[in-house]
A = this chain, B = another copy of it.
């Protein structure tokens, strides 16, 4: 029996993280980690729902809610089976809507909203299959996986045939990698020890705490005060030791030339990467910076608008690490396209996470990457921030600095009803305080 999607609800959920400066960086000084929360309901008797979120920093969450409402007519009334039979076509339906695409296309508000809906369909699909999303994808044939992807605008970088070849090459050892993930987990790095607004004492305490928990990979925020950058980096390097991974994140604070200058005094601390050194739209700028700051790697992606930007970042040799965000892209369907390009170009993917629900999403992406696509965890780690997981029904399991694969059916993104009620903006109890 096909199930028809009969309704879509969308809620504006915000957490007041700015009160403690959790999540703060050089540019986003006071984020309230927020979610646009989408639920798809169907006429099936099992009552299964598709849940999907997209992540924002607070103000503007209501604009993305409006965009979800603008898109909802494209999913309500469809059967789940008609969508999952051709996920590529479903992506096109959302991104090529003849009037709506003017306010994108495939970027910003409209694409954030698209992601919430597309991922809600993936969640529902996986629940119906009774598997976590990563496992459902890992059980697809290479042909089935390729059929989920809209290759529009990508054919000069990767064709469906090339994608199929990437997947087929990695297919034989899928089972072994899946077993390895279940026993050993996937490497994580921690961001939440080094938020910009945290005083030294707090950074120090959090680093020690993370080390005790088994973390060996740390990221800190840097910005437009060079002395401060050096001081904070020296502090963290002195705590974590020379063999730990240390990454730096400028969150778009610099022009191209400035990035190269600000990096110079930081090189001696041997960072693995500098993240978002400049505008996320600046493919050529990243390429220039990368040439200049070697051996420091260049990373970007949490603000890269879509697969066409990633295509160019790879074609131009502009990045050492690809950090797409499953919600910034148009959901998992587009993320699969970027994973395949990254595998072809040999660029490791370390997905953006942190924000509310993003760790829950990102683990699925990296598991799919390892098991089906790249087959490698070299130079890869999933971002981790140690907060807000208590709001999820199936929160991430991170032990010894590694993510362990979720086992419940779906995309791990379903929030606790009590959390949704408390943090709904502006009427929830946490906002009426």
Contacts and interface: CB of A to CB of B under 8 A. Distances in A.
A221 interface: no
A110 B62 CA distance: 12
Contact of A156 (B62, B102, B285): B285
Interface in A273-307: 278-285, 288, 303, 305-306
Given A108-B104, A108-B110, A153 B282 contact: yes
A60 B103 contact: yes
Given A155-B256, A311-B282, A70 B64 contact: no
A280 B105 contact: yes
A63 B110 contact: yes
A23 to B, nearest CB: 11
Most central of A99, A255, A288 by chain B CB within 10 Å: A99
Contact of A30 (B64, B98, B252): B98
Interface stretch (A39-47, A51-59, A208-216, A422-430): A51-59
Nearest to A104: B108
A59 B66 CA distance: 11
Interface in A10-46: 27-32
A67 interface: yes
Interface in A253-275: 255-258
A31 B99 CA distance: 6
A322 interface: no
A156 to B, nearest CB: 4
A57 B96 CA distance: 13
A200 to B, nearest CB: 23
A78 interface: no
Most central of A101, A153, A255 by chain B CB within 10 Å: A153
A341 interface: no
Interface in A74-111: 96-111
Most central of A28, A62, A109 by chain B CB within 10 Å: A109
A42 B269 CA distance: 54
A27 B108 contact: no
A408 interface: no
Nearest to A111: B108
Given A63-B63, A102-B57, A155-B255, A107 B110 contact: no
A107 B108 contact: yes
A257 B152 CA distance: 11
Nearest to A252: B105
A56 B278 CA distance: 29
A153 B152 CA distance: 29
Contacts of A32: 99
Contacts of A97: 59
Contacts of A67: 60, 63, 109
A27 to B, nearest CB: 7
Contacts of A103: 56, 60, 63-64, 108-109, 112
A306 B58 CA distance: 23
A319 to B, nearest CB: 14
A99 B156 contact: no
Interface of A: 27-32, 56-60, 62-64, 66-67, 70, 96-112, 152-156, 252, 255-258, 278-285, 288, 303, 305-306, 308-309, 311-312, 315-316
Given A59-B97, A152-B255, A283-B284, 13 more contacts: A28-B102, A31-B98, A32-B99, A63-B66, A63-B70, A104-B109, A107-B108, A108-B110, A153-B278, A154-B255, A279-B308, A283-B283, A285-B308
22 contacts: A28-B99, A28-B102, A59-B99, A60-B67, A60-B70, A60-B100, A62-B66, A63-B70, A63-B103, A105-B252, A105-B280, A109-B109, A109-B110, A153-B256, A155-B255, A155-B256, A156-B256, A156-B285, A156-B288, A284-B312, A284-B315, A305-B305
